[in-house]
């Protein structure tokens, strides 16, 4: 079952990176190196303290997800296991909404920056 955890963790890390990379292809000006490199470009613009805080946030989320997975696998009662799965799904959805809101905020910030350059 450990490969499932690794796959889930990798997926959670790659979703934002892939969505930023997709935005890069749609960007009007593609000569900004930070935008070309997707998530890594955004990370490179962070201060060391911001990077550390971001990584701690990701770690906390992964630990929560693993905790739910362990509880689900250990639960013998199907109804309780389903309740835990539903709670985990809500957590995943909330996390996704948070990421999407941040992505939208960064996109708007980028477009404002692009307008100022013109």
Number of domains in the chain: 1
Q: Please compute Rg for the chain using Cα positions.
A: 18
Would the pTM of this model clear 0.85, i.e. be above it?
no
What is the pLDDT, as a whole number, of residue 29? Answer: 45
What is the pLDDT, as a whole number, of residue 18? Answer: 53
What is the pLDDT, as a whole number, of residue 97? Answer: 94
The whole domain housing 62 covers: 2-117
What is the pLDDT, as a whole number, of residue 30? Answer: 44
What is the pLDDT, as a whole number, of residue 115? Answer: 83
* Stretches in the chain below the pLDDT threshold 50: 21-22, 24-37
Helices marked H in the chain? 2-26, 33-36, 39-44, 48-74, 78-117
C-alpha neighbours within 13 Å on the C-beta side of residue 112: 6
What is the pLDDT, as a whole number, of residue 45? Answer: 80
């Amino acid at each position: 079952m450990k490969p499932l955890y690794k796959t889930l963790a990798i997926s959670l890390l790659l979703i934002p990176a892939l969505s930023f990379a997709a935005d890069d292809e749609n960007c009007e000006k593609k000569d900004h190196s930070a935008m070309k490199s997707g998530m890594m470009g955004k990370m490179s613009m962070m201060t060391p303290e911001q990077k550390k805080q971001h990584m701690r946030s990701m770690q906390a989320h992964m630990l929560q997800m693993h905790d739910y997975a362990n509880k689900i696998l250990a639960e013998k009662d199907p109804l309780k296991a389903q309740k835990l799965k539903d709670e985990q799904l809500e957590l995943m959805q909330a996390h996704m909404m948070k990421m999407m809101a941040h992505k939208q905020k960064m996109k708007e910030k980028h477009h404002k920056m692009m307008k100022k350059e013109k």
